[in-house]
Amino acid sequence: MGSSVSETLDMEFGYNLIDTGSSDDYYTPAHIFEALGIEFDLDVASPEGGIPWIPAKRHYTIIDDGLASPWEGTVWMNPPYSSPRKWIEKFIEHGDGICLVPTSKANWFKQAWDQADGVMCMDPALKFVRGNSFAQIQYLTIMFAMGDQSVAALKRSGLGRVR
């Protein structure tokens, strides 16, 4: 008999994510990072305490204000989907990292599509970690990469076709 997501998260990571009730509390699952095989210098939009399976040396929380704080090195970004525009603008300006965002008809999405060095559509069945379970979102998600190292990580991940 399989273990629950909560037990798996506890056993593998010794950690339980707290669902604050925000519509933005969806975390990228560990298998994405395993496939990418890259260590990030900074997770720019992390919950308090970070996510144990995100391979980032440092992380910014809402208290640190990732939009106001300086970004250094290769960044990972899964921004608040309720307001991604400023995050995408800073990501493009920074020019080094990978971000995961929902598709959108908004100008920020077109800007990212046009300026990213690499783009990959994610599996429509991608499930995010939400509290102690997995949940899908209603939008198709895209990974944008900036910089050679990040594009190479997308390409070797096997998660999808990179353009």
Model confidence pLDDT, tens digit, residues 25-78: 778 999 999 999 999 999 999 998 889 999 999 999 999 999 999 999 999 999
Strand order in the sheet with 141-146: 56-59, 40-43, 75-77, 97-102, 141-146, 118-121
Domain chopping of the chain, boundaries: 5-157
- Cβ atoms of 154 and 120 closer than 8 Å: yes
Element (H, E) at 12: helix 5-13
Average pLDDT, the chain: 86
CATH label, 5-157, candidates 2.120.10, 1.10.3470, 3.40.50, 3.30.370: 3.40.50
Model confidence pLDDT, tens digit, residues 69-123: 999 999 999 999 889 999 999 999 999 999 999 999 999 999 999 999 999 999 9
Task: For residue 24, name the pLDDT band (cuts at 50, 70, 90).
Answer: low
